[in-house]
Structure 1
């Protein structure tokens, strides 16, 4: 009997050892799969960096050796990132930025030669959307924003431009057309005469001149465009987003999408937002009645009501006390 028990124990120990060996082997396989997945993820995101600050997302082009030029891989990564931002219900504002002191120097000319212009144009098809996103987009322009990089900045709703930035249609030197609706967008922003100046001559302009032309919301010091853009983005989060998007789409449609399929798409989006915008408006009316936002104030829109002395329709109780001597005089 004891011999039989020993055999059972030894057999169970053997199976236990085999089981552990199988588990160890499977764990190694799982670890290798995770490593492979991590490597593939790193490969996917090797040209851009995505960072999130609450409802604000930054898309940072990171090809610093070529001043953040756009090759096929980078363009496809950007398209995926923009689509993810569009689908994220928590994301409200997207900020485009270039790492290393330059926004974007346009298409990578070496890759244009190797793969052909149409290959890069096909990879950039997501950037042809008008508007680029339904939600708000901001370009933090520093260093060079030329060629398709200039067009990317023009595709954004708002631009914060550093005073030393260089913008323009520098592709004119090589016979490259404005392939991302840059001519149309530029004309809608600054008018035909100024747009033709930049499009025909291809001359570069500084951030200061770009601001004077009306291309930027704000001109800022060197090295501060990203910080100022994030600050701007934070200031927009306090607004109800549905009406904001509706008004933006209406403005873009009037300039870029008259009588087009995209215009019909945007009209459908605006109609779908109408009910939500009305709900936001009802909430806004209650806030206003409680003292928030009165006198044209844009700050503290989501905080406590204004103090009593800030409320316009305030009443004060005044009590008058008569002196005893005046009472005696009245009796006489």
Structure 2
């Protein structure tokens, strides 16, 4: 056991004391494993161990599962590999007969920042959308889902939070449709879900302007089932999940489906018409996105900034004269008009 522990520590650089206690059968073994230095043979064997980096980490605590997005350097943005891993994790939860509640969480202090803009430029928006098809299912999972929202939950990350049945949101969290800066639309389901949750007028405000809101604002609009302090969303979400697993899951799912279907009927004539209109606009939107990707890669609009997204052309007279010269000319013109 101690040899295994040393190999694991040398490869992964994980906190030694924490995992020593987990992997050893007693505290005394754990302390001995921490103090014991790895031998040359251990080092050679450790070099041959390949550790695959996962973007999605699925953990199970009894009937509760947590799905953790771990792309911290990009505030947990979604590329194709991550979307595929997420689809597999969600399917694993749905197919696990013991699991009743799934908690979505983002590692490193941010929930999810949406599609990776560089991926939109390289693999294309439509390919990303195809990889994200499972996330647009109605509902997201057959059982109960909770979003533990901290940091940024923007663009498709905002939609992911909306797709969950319940949301526990930290007061300092930032939510909104940040794709507006670069011409990336919300999905048809995401726009409908937002409207059904908070009403048409505030939904249009967020969708059209791309305005960001805090966790406090989200709670006021009715998006949060609980507002919590910074750093506590995951713990509160797991606590809520554990309180739900004592209930029979079938009745919970039936009531959930009845509520969702009463607000979001995908088979209605209006829904199909809206989808046809959106598909007709998609081609032009993709062209806009290409320009948006160039702006992002040039650093324009990053970190939630809305200013300097476009350059306003100046009139010829503005280019020719300084502000002081323009003022002098205007004064002369006024004097001439008075004399005449």
**TM-score category, normalised to shorter length:** 0.5 to 0.7
Alignment partner, residue 133 of structure 2: 125
Alpha-carbon separation, structure 2, partners of 1:259 and 1:48: 32
Q: Distance in 2 between matches of 1:72 and 1:83?
A: 17
Question: 1:248 matched to which residue of 2?
Answer: 256
Residue by residue, what CA displacement relative to the aligned partner does 1:56-78 show, whole Å, maximum 9, x if unpaired? 00000000000000000000000
Residue matched to 2:71: 63
**Alpha-carbon distance between aligned partners in 1 of 2:245 and 2:187, rounded to the nearest angstrom:** 32
Of 119, 125, 143, 1:111 maps to 119
1:212 aligns with 2:220: yes
C-alpha displacement at 1:239, in angstroms?
1.1
Name 1:91's counterpart in structure 2.
99
Q: Which residue of 2 aligns with 1:234?
A: 242
Counterpart of 1:153?
161
| 2:211 equivalent to 1:203 | yes
The Cα of 1:238 is off from its aligned counterpart by 1.3
In the aligned structure 2, how far is the partner of 1:128 from the partner of 1:258? 12
Distance 1:56 1:180 in 2: 30
Return the alpha-carbon distance in structure 2 between the equivalents of residues 160 and 144 of structure 1: 14
> How far has the Cα of 1:160 moved from its partner?
0.2
1:223-302 alignment runs, 5 A limit: 223-257=231-265, 259=267
Tell me the residue number matched to 1:76. 84
Change (3 A) 1:104 1:237: same
Structure 1 residue 181, shift from structure 2 partner: 1.9
Cα displacement string for residues 106-161 of structure 1 (whole angstroms, at most 9, x for unaligned residues): 00001110111011111000001111011000000000000000000000000000
Counterpart of 2:108?
Answer: 100
Please report how far the alpha carbon of residue 242 of structure 1 lies from its aligned counterpart in structure 2 after TM superposition.
1.1
Q: CA deviation at 1:180?
A: 6.2
Give per-residue Cα distances to partners, 1:220-239, cap 9 Å, x unaligned. Answer: 00000000000000111111
Tell me the residue number matched to 2:327: none
Q: Contact between 1:85 and 1:94, CA under 8 Å: does it hold in 2?
A: yes
Please say which structure displays the higher CA radius of gyration: 1
The two structures, once aligned, show a CA RMSD in angstroms of 2.0
Give yes or no for contact 1:127–1:180 (8 Å, CA) kept in 2. no
Query: What 5-or-longer segments of structure 2 have no aligned partner?
Result: 1-46, 269-340
Q: SS of the residue aligned with 2:99?
A: coil
Q: Which residue of 1 aligns with 2:177?
A: 169
* Cα deviation 1:64-104 (Å, max 9, x = unaligned): 00000000000000000000100000000000000000000
What residue in structure 2 maps to residue 305 of structure 1? none
State yes or no: 1:183 paired with 2:197. no
Q: Could you tell me how far 1:256 is from its partner in structure 2?
A: 1.3
2:278 is matched with: none
Between the aligned partners of 2:159 and 2:267, the Cα distance in structure 1 is 23
* C-alpha deviation, 1:258, in angstroms: 5.1
Alpha-carbon distance in 2 for matches of 1:256, 1:100 = 33
TM-score, structure 1 as length reference: 0.65
In structure 1, distance between residues paired with 2:212 and 2:238 = 26
Match of 2:20 in 1: none
4+ aligned runs moved over 3 Å, structure 1: none
